Amino acid sequence: MGRTNRQYRLAKRPVGLPAPSDWDYVEQPVAEPGEGQLLIEVIYLSLDPAMRGWMNEGRSYIPPVEIGAVMRAGGVGRVIASRNPQYVVGDYVSGALGVQEYHLSDGRGLTKVDPEQAPLPVYLGVLGMPGMTAYFGLLDIGRPERGQTVVVSGAAGAVGSVVGQIAKINGCRVIGIAGGERKCRLVVEELGFDACIDYKSEDVRKALHEAAPDGVDVYFDNVGGDILDAVLTRLARGARIVICGAISQYNATDQVKGPANYLSLLVNRASMTGMVVFDYAGRYPEATTELAGWLSTGKLRSLEDVVDGGVQAFPDTLLRLFNGDNTGKLVLQVGTA
Amino acid sequence: MGRTNRQYRLAKRPVGLPAPSDWDYVEQPVAEPGEGQLLIEVIYLSLDPAMRGWMNEGRSYIPPVEIGAVMRAGGVGRVIASRNPQYVVGDYVSGALGVQEYHLSDGRGLTKVDPEQAPLPVYLGVLGMPGMTAYFGLLDIGRPERGQTVVVSGAAGAVGSVVGQIAKINGCRVIGIAGGERKCRLVVEELGFDACIDYKSEDVRKALHEAAPDGVDVYFDNVGGDILDAVLTRLARGARIVICGAISQYNATDQVKGPANYLSLLVNRASMTGMVVFDYAGRYPEATTELAGWLSTGKLRSLEDVVDGGVQAFPDTLLRLFNGDNTGKLVLQVGTA
């Protein structure tokens, strides 16, 4: 076919924020699919804070990306050639396509998606990993009850924006924490949270005291660091903290900042539990059905932040996750929809 | 009756270790019981790490001891005068008797104990708060399963020594963590733990790697600090951490050291949950029956460290909890059994 595949490969393990020199930009010919394989043209790539963790060495919930390997990334694309009976040219699929323009697959781990049902970027957001994370993390681990107070950090982000909306749908009082007036306004005015604390201009601990006078029943934590510590001082008895991520710590070059106020768990008989969305893979269809229903009835809004930059914009666009620029699901457009 | 009551009252809130000047030693005449009251002669006082927390100002799971009040302490004693129909002279009772020789009570919060069934100090140890804490903390929060690996810090202490023995009775592999060779030998040889790590002479992280090659399923934490952080690096998937206390941090004059490795909870889908024994008050009889049964059949050993010093030995004896001297349940003998 004579196509060229543009890729980013991991050149070395970053110290702190991923630098341009941590990537190898590679151009190579696109291979033809062999027996049982299919070729996918990548259209949208999902950029996620978790990617920073995958770049580190060492034991984690999935193996690190190997040095020299194409950087791992979720994506949606279109099948452009197939010798796999389950896929025909023109099918749209989502899966771990990698930071590249073309992905050769044996079909495993792919899911067909329907662009008529929802715009393709939504399959990387509300109907993708962030949506699944929000759904199972909040409902299975956080177990909020009607009338309880739910706090979520990274409230304008891909996961947090969905967590808060699901909590509202479940009859909770919802307080977001986000950085900056623009994000806070969005969270309250567009997403319907009851309140939002701007951690850049407010004392989170004091603001929580006002916004959640009876304490926090569920805290969904995407950020870690000082904000986790502040919320720990305001727990209600029997509170549940969901540890989903810690974006404030992912690029730390010193040791991670542990929650100094963790003894609040004891005082309040509270728990702090880690979650990894992959554990719920068998139940994704259940969540997808419910989330798609809420989307279609307008109960749930999908926020996407699509950067139309092509694959070469990957290194810079990834940094938007960590510098506070990004709102909603960050997606890099690599191909033509 | 012309008796004198010797007491320790809280003079001020300590900074760091409680100093002699933090106490007021008071002698005052013993009052006669009024209608509905009884007078108890205190025989044994329970000295507990939690007492340090009660001396601090601020919101916790029970109100702080007020400045000028008799220091709160559990104890067992003998009824020597009674105008309460539920108690007669000669009854033995346990309850919050305070750091003093005589306690005037309206009968509420007292439990009758039988010195024929178990020596009186046991009612402050295995059959008292430490036993209840070990029983419910391990079984309700830790939920160990047969064949799993249970780690307990403060393993030679009042709570830890019972936790490990209950875990053994439940068919677990049990690793203690304690300070010094003497304590470690006791834990393994006298209490039947499978192994004990001496945190004073060993690298806890490395030692755990060897003693728990498949990871830690349940960690019962009495100490916090660096040991909690070390155990976090060795969690098995789905591990449960019970936060019972943090003796390494109670006298800290800097901020409490939070667990820097808390993101291991995420990687391992683990949880960390705080427990306060008072929540289980309604179920104490259930635990007492089971613990007493194990004691009588020799499955469970009670370790007491009785200091026969009289009430005036209180300030110095309390410090034994924090300087590493104490093994098993620390009890101060105040009166004659």
Q: How far is B36 from chain A (nearest CA, A)?
A: 34
Most B CBs within 10 Å: which of A241, A266, A276, A280, as the mutation test of the B interface? A266
Contact yes or no for A127/A288 (Cβ under 8 A): yes
pLDDT at B299: 96
B271 to chain A: which residues are within 8 Å by CB? 271-274
CA distance A257 to chain B (A): 5
Q: Which residue has the tokens 């916004």?
A: A211
Q: Average pLDDT for residues B41-66, to the nearest whole number?
A: 93
Structure tokens at A226: 């000082």
Chain A 188-217, CB below 8 Å of chain B: which residues? none
Question: Which ranges constitute the DSSP H helices of A176-313?
Answer: 181-185, 204-211, 225-232, 264-267, 284-296
d(CA B263, CA A245): 8
- Residue A267 has its nearest CB partner, among B224, B259, B274, at B274
Instruction: State how far the alpha carbon of B224 is from the alpha carbons of A124, B88, B148, B177, in Å.
Output: 40, 44, 22, 12
Q: How far apart are CA B130 and CA B96, in angstroms?
A: 14
Give the contacts of A282 (CB within 8 A, at least 6 positions apart).
none
Q: What is the pLDDT of residue A1?
A: 53
Q: CB of B18 within 8 A of CB of B315?
A: yes
Check residue B1 and give its pLDDT: 53
- If pLDDT is split at 50, 70 and 90, which confidence band does B254 have? confident
Mean pLDDT of successive 10-residue stretches along chain A, which has 337 residues? 91 95 97 96 96 90 95 98 97 97 96 94 96 98 98 96 98 98 97 98 97 97 95 97 92 86 96 96 95 96 95 97 93 94
**Cβ–Cβ below 8 Å for A265 and B249:** no
Is the pLDDT reported for residue B248 higher than 60? yes
Q: Length of chain B, please?
A: 337
Chosen from B56, B60, B267, B275 to mutate, greatest number of chain A CBs within 10 A? B267
What tokens does A209 get?
A: 């005291």
Taken as a whole, chain A contains a residue count of 337
Instruction: Decide if A240 contacts A45 (C-beta within 8 A).
Output: no
CA distance A55 to A58: 10
Q: To the nearest whole angstrom, how far is the Cα of A236 from the nearest Cα of chain B?
A: 12
What pLDDT score was predicted for residue B302?
94
Cβ-defined contact of B267 to A256 (cutoff 8 Å)? no
Q: Do A263 and B244 touch (CB under 8 A)?
A: no
**Residue A242 distance to chain B (closest CA, Å):** 9
Q: Which of residues 232-291 of A touch B (CB under 8 A)?
A: 243-246, 249, 255-276, 279
Task: Determine if residue B8 is left, alpha or beta; phi over 0 gives left, psi from -120 to 50 gives alpha, anything else beta.
Answer: beta
Smallest Cβ–Cβ distance between B265 and the set A229, A243, A270 belongs to A243
CB-CB under 8 Å, B271 with A274 = yes
pLDDT value at residue B255: 81
By C-alpha distance, the chain B residue nearest A247 is B263
Q: How far apart are CA B62 and CA B40, in angstroms?
A: 24
Burial code (b: 16+ CB inside 10 Å, e: under 16) for B175-199 equals: bbbbbbeebbebbbeebebbbbbbb
Q: Which residue(s) pair with B183 in the sheet?
A: none
Percent helix, strand and coil across chain A, each rounded to 5?
30, 25, 45
pLDDT at B250: 85
List of domains in chain B = 4-125+302-333 (3.90.180.10), 129-278 (3.40.50.720)
Mean pLDDT score, B185-206: 97
Q: Over the Cα atoms of chain A, what is R_g?
A: 20
Is the CB of residue A285 less than 8 Å from the CB of residue A131? no
Half-sphere exposure of B286 (CA within 13 A, CB side): 9
Instruction: State mean pLDDT over B260-287.
Output: 96
Work out the mean pLDDT of chain B and round it to a whole number. Answer: 95
Residues A240 and A167: their CA atoms lie apart, in Å, by 14
Structure tokens at A263: 């003894």
**Listed residue (B121, B140, B141) closest to B130, CA to CA:** B121
B262:A259 CB<8 A: yes
The Cα B177–Cα B197 span in angstroms is 5
In A, minimum Cα distance to B233 occurs at: A59
Query: A–B: how many Cβ contacts below 8 A?
Result: 109
Burial class (CB in 10 A: 0-12, 13-18, 19+), B141: buried
pLDDT at residue B252, as a whole number: 84
The pLDDT tens digits for B138-163 are 999 999 999 999 999 999 999 999 99
For residues B229-243, average pLDDT:
97
Nearest Cα to Cα of residue B177 among B130, B128, B225, B119: B225
Residue numbers in A near B262 (CB within 8 A): 243, 256, 258-259, 262, 272
pLDDT for position A60: 84
Which member of B229, B272, B276 has the closest CB to residue A272? B272
B257–A263 C-beta distance less than 8 A: no
Smallest Cα distance from B122 to chain A, Å: 26
The token pair that represents A174 in the structure block:
């919802």
Among B263, B268, B276, most A C-beta atoms within 10 A, so best to mutate, is: B263
Beta-carbon separation of B257 and A260 below 8 A: yes
* Closest by CA position to B10, among listed B62, B56, B43: B56
- What region, left, alpha or beta, does residue A21 occupy, with left being phi > 0 and alpha being psi -120 to 50 degrees? alpha
ipTM field = 0.92
What pLDDT does A248 receive? 87
Among A254, A252, A235, A227, CA closest to A322: A252
